[in-house]
Amino acid sequence: MANQQVITKVENCLFAFQSSLVHGPKPLLFLPGNRRSSIELSWRNGHLFTAVCCVLAEVHSLLCSDTFRTKRSIFYKHRHLFRAQKDIDTAIGIACDILEATRFQLHILSTSRGLIVGDLILETQRREVIDCRIPTSIPSFPEHFNICCCSAKFILIVEKDSIFQKLAHERNTDLTLSAALIVTAKGYPDFSTRLFLRALSERTQLPLVALMDADSYGMRMWLSRTVILVSGIEIFLNYKYGPSRISHESGSKILLPNTQWLGIYPSEIDWFELAGVQKLPLTLRDRKHIVSLQYRFGDDTCVNEEVG
């Protein structure tokens, strides 16, 4: 979507709000033709309405000047308005839904947590060269890059930074790892890492595989077979199918449907012959979590085999 298209949408949205103020029946911020996504000005949500208008004003300014800003910089610029991080997250999400555009199309960036290492050299749209042969951060513009050199054979996604650092060190002496582009988002994947992985896999046509560490829930993640089952599968499926709510804010470009799960599988845990004290019983919360996974991803083979 070109800048001018989004600019026109922002302006049409504000014109529609002005018209609703004059003609009623109630003041709404919406895009003509898309009343399903709107926000009403009322005493109850006046603060949220103001926050969304602030985001739209920032978006209009960014698009007109063809510049980008991070979500964090907008948050601190309007610190008096956005009381917490969730306030700006909600406002941006509503703005994306109303404008039917992704966050990147609004020129709002998220600071990526992601790291990559492997035999890959990129050039960004700003003519910056990124040498991924040493561990480096995911580019700020995760869709806009050219591949200068790549001899990797596959893309390996790992969950935690500690595993990433270990594999990055070992790839110098391991033939299999030396053929991989190793990527981590340091836990649950953020928007920029997802977008970068999708663009990278499409341009290189390399297979995507995921090696999931089993302690995404911090202190809850001991050596329990059950908890490993919940976390490992969920994070893999989060990469593959996206978060529970795919909105205009993220778009389908963050999905990685061809990702294959390497393990560790819950069915393999018995191989480690863990002592009874190293296992935790299923809690009610765990059982509800398993049911939610089955409900969301029941058509996936690994869910049927490992959770069902």
The answer to the question of residue 146 being in a domain is: no
Supply the Cα-derived Rg of the chain in whole angstroms.
22
- Residue 140 confidence (pLDDT): 74
Domain of 28, CATH number, reads 1.10.10.10
The answer to the question of residue 48 being in a domain is: yes
How many independent structural domains does the chain possess? Answer: 2
- Indicate if 202 and 102 belong to the same structural domain: no
Q: Which residue has the higher pLDDT, 194 or 286?
A: 194
pLDDT tier at 226, thresholds 50, 70, 90: very low
Range of the domain at 86: 3-109
Domain of 189, CATH number, reads 3.40.1360.10
The answer to the question of residue 101 being in a domain is: yes
What integer best gives the mean pLDDT of the chain? Answer: 82
User: What's the CA gap between 18 and 12, in Å, rounded?
Assistant: 10
- Residue 277 confidence (pLDDT): 59
Q: Which ranges of 140-188 does DSSP label H, i.e. alpha helix?
A: 161-170, 175-178
The answer to the question of residue 126 being in a domain is: no
245-273 average pLDDT score:
73
Sequence-distant contacts of 192-195: CB under 8 A, at least 24 apart: 192/109, 192/110, 192/111, 192/112, 192/114, 192/138, 192/140, 192/142, 193/112, 193/113, 193/114, 193/138, 193/142, 194/239, 194/242, 194/250, 194/254, 194/255, 194/256, 195/104, 195/142, 195/143, 195/253, 195/254
User: Token pair of 47, please?
Assistant: 């603060």
- Indicate if 89 and 200 belong to the same structural domain: no
- Indicate if 163 and 279 belong to the same structural domain: yes
- Indicate if 292 and 216 belong to the same structural domain: yes
Q: Examine the residue annotation and report whether 76 is marked as an active-site residue of this protein.
A: yes
Chosen domain end from 92, 109, 126? 109
User: Which residues face 218 on adjacent strands?
Assistant: none
- Residue 244 confidence (pLDDT): 63
Q: Which residue has the higher pLDDT, 68 or 243?
A: 68
Is the entire prediction scored with pTM above 0.75?
no
- Residue 276 confidence (pLDDT): 67
Write the DSSP string, 206-275: --EEEE--S-TTGGG-SS-HHHHHHHHHHHHHHHHH--S---TTT-GGG--TT-EEEE--GGGGGGG---
The answer on pLDDT for 154 being more than 90 is yes
Using N-to-C axis directions, what is the helix angle for 46-65 and 85-99, rounded to 10°? Answer: 70
Q: Which residue has the tokens 């003041």?
A: 27
Q: Contact 30/16 with Cβ under 8 angstroms?
A: yes
For 96-136, the pLDDT digits (tens) are 988 988 888 899 887 778 999 999 999 987 788 999 999 99
- Indicate if 210 and 280 belong to the same structural domain: yes
